[in-house]
C-alpha cells in the first residue's frame, strides 16, 4: 500500500468512526461500545459485522464506487447488526425481528416489500404529473406563444392538483432523494435551481454535507424531500435546468458576439429570468384563487430529519451584460424532457450488506 493509500485509509476510518460515534450518542445515548473498524478489498460484499471479533468492516471498493451517503447507509446497517447482537440479545435470524428493532432504533431504512403498493392518492398524483409532463413536451414547440401557453397550463394544473389533494388527504408518505453532483463551493446558479424547485415544484430542498473520499474533503449536495411523485418530477426538472444552463452557455460561447461578463453572471441571469417567468405565472394563478401556502407536514418531516437546519446565503449578483442577456433567455425558457433523468441510487442489485 502506498503512502497516499494509507493516508486515505486513515481519513476514511476517521470519518466512519465519527459517524458511528454520532449515531451511538444521538440514537442510543452512548449505550454501544465502539467496535474495531476495518477496511477490506471485498467486491461482492459492501460491509460486514463480526460478533466474535467485534469488527465492523467496510469495503474499499464500496467507498470508491458509491456515493458517501450509501457508504454511511452500509455503516448503519452493520451497526444495526452490532446493536442486535450486543444489546438486544442476539439475532433470531439474519434480518429477523431483532434486527428490525435495531434498524428502527438507528433509523435504518428497511427495504420495502415487493408487494407493497403505492397509496391511492400518490397513484392519482402520478397520473396528473404524467399529463403535466406531456403539456411540458408541447412547450418544445417552435411557436413561442404555443410553448408559453403550454407551460402556463402545466403550471396551473400542477398547482390545482396539489391544492385539491391537500384538502382531501390529511397525511402523505414523504421520501428524500439526492440529485446532481456535490461540490465544495456551490455555484450561485445551483442554489437558484434549488430555490426554483422548492418554490414551484412542491418539494423542500436542503444542501446537505457529504464527504468526498477521493479528495478527503467535505462537500455539499442537494437533497429533495417530498411525496415520491413530486420528488420524481423535481428530479426531472433539476436535470433539465442543469442541461439548459450548460447548453445556453455553450451556444453563447459559439456566437460571434463578445459578452461582457462571466459564465457565472450568465447562468445566474438565466435562472433569475426563469424564476421571474414562473412567478408571473403563479401570480396569474392567484387571480383565479389558486394560492399555495405550503405543506406543514412536509416541513415537519424535513425538520425532524434536519433539526439544526440553517439557510445558506445566496451570494452577490453583478449587474452586467452577461446577467441581462441570461435573464432574457431565462424568461423564454420552457421545460422539456431532459436527455437523461437522474436515477436514485439503490442497493437492490450488486454487492450486498451482510
120 inside domain = no
Task: Answer yes or no: do 285 and 181 share one domain.
Answer: yes
Task: Answer yes or no: do 89 and 178 share one domain.
Answer: no
Task: Answer yes or no: do 184 and 106 share one domain.
Answer: no
274 inside domain = yes
Task: Answer yes or no: do 97 and 179 share one domain.
Answer: no
Q: Which contacts qualify for 47-53: CB closer than 8 Å, 24 or more apart?
A: 47/74, 47/75, 47/77, 47/78, 47/353, 47/354, 48/78, 48/353, 48/354, 49/78, 49/79, 49/81, 49/82, 49/85, 49/354, 51/82, 51/85, 51/86
pLDDT of residue 344: 42
pLDDT of residue 27: 94
Task: Answer yes or no: do 189 and 273 share one domain.
Answer: yes
What CATH number is given to the structural domain containing 25?
3.30.2010.10
Task: Answer yes or no: do 94 and 183 share one domain.
Answer: no
- pLDDT for 319-342, tens place per residue? 888 999 999 999 988 887 655 444
pLDDT of residue 260: 75
Q: What is the pTM of this model?
A: 0.79
135 inside domain = no
* Range of the structural domain that residue 50 is part of: 3-110
234 inside domain = yes
48 inside domain = yes
Q: Which three cell numbers stand for residue 16?
A: 466512519
Total domains in the chain come to 2
Task: Answer yes or no: do 250 and 181 share one domain.
Answer: yes
156 inside domain = no
Task: Answer yes or no: do 90 and 200 share one domain.
Answer: no
> Which parts of the chain register pLDDT below 70?
1-4, 91-92, 111-122, 128, 131-148, 150-151, 155, 161, 163-171, 256-258, 287-293, 312-315, 337-352, 354
Residue owning grid cell 426538472: 237
Q: To which H or E segment does residue 52 belong?
A: none
Q: Which among 91, 89, 67, 66 has a CA at the least distance from the CA of 78?
A: 91
Task: Answer yes or no: do 67 and 200 share one domain.
Answer: no
Task: Answer yes or no: do 183 and 293 share one domain.
Answer: yes
Task: Answer yes or no: do 320 and 195 share one domain.
Answer: yes
152 inside domain = no
Task: Answer yes or no: do 82 and 177 share one domain.
Answer: no
324 inside domain = yes
Amino acid at each position: 500500500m502506498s503512502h497516499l493509500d494509507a493516508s486515505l485509509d486513515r481519513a476514511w476510518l476517521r470519518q466512519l468512526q465519527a459517524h458511528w460515534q454520532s449515531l451511538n450518542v444521538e440514537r442510543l445515548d452512548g449505550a454501544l461500545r465502539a467496535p474495531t473498524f476495518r477496511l477490506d478489498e471485498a467486491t461482492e460484499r459492501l460491509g460486514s459485522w463480526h460478533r466474535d471479533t467485534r469488527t465492523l468492516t467496510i469495503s474499499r471498493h464500496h467507498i470508491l464506487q458509491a456515493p458517501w451517503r450509501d457508504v454511511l447507509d452500509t455503516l448503519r446497517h452493520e451497526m444495526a447488526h452490532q446493536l442486535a447482537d450486543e444489546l438486544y440479545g442476539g439475532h433470531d435470524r439474519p434480518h429477523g425481528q431483532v434486527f428490525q428493532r435495531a434498524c428502527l432504533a438507528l433509523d435504518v431504512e428497511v427495504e420495502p416489500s415487493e408487494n407493497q403498493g403505492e397509496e391511492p392518492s400518490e397513484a392519482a398524483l402520478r397520473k396528473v404529473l404524467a399529463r403535466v409532463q406531456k403539456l411540458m413536451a408541447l412547450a418544445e414547440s417552435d411557436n413561442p406563444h404555443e410553448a408559453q401557453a403550454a407551460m402556463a397550463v402545466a403550471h396551473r394544473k400542477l398547482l390545482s392538483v396539489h391544492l385539491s389533494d391537500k384538502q382531501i388527504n390529511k397525511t402523505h408518505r414523504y421520501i428524500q432523494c439526492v440529485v446532481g453532483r456535490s461540490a465544495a463551493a456551490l455555484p450561485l446558479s445551483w442554489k437558484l435551481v434549488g430555490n426554483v424547485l422548492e418554490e414551484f415544484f412542491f418539494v423542500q430542498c436542503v444542501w446537505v454535507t457529504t464527504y468526498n473520499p477521493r479528495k478527503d474533503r467535505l462537500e455539499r449536495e442537494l437533497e429533495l424531500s417530498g411525496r415520491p411523485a413530486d420528488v420524481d418530477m423535481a428530479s426531472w426538472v433539476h436535470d433539465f435546468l442543469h442541461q439548459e444552463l450548460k447548453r445556453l452557455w455553450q451556444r453563447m460561447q459559439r456566437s460571434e458576439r463578445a459578452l461582457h461578463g462571466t459564465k457565472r453572471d450568465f447562468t445566474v441571469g438565466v435562472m433569475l429570468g426563469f424564476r421571474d417567468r414562473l412567478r408571473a405565472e403563479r401570480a396569474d394563478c392567484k387571480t383565479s384563487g389558486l394560492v399555495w401556502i405550503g405543506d406543514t407536514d412536509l416541513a415537519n418531516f424535513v425538520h425532524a430529519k434536519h433539526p439544526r437546519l440553517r439557510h445558506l446565503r445566496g451570494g452577490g449578483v453583478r449587474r452586467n451584460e452577461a446577467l441581462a442577456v441570461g435573464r432574457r433567455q431565462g424568461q423564454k425558457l420552457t421545460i422539456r424532457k431532459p436527455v437523461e433523468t437522474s436515477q436514485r441510487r439503490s442497493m437492490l442489485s450488486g454487492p450486498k450488506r451482510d
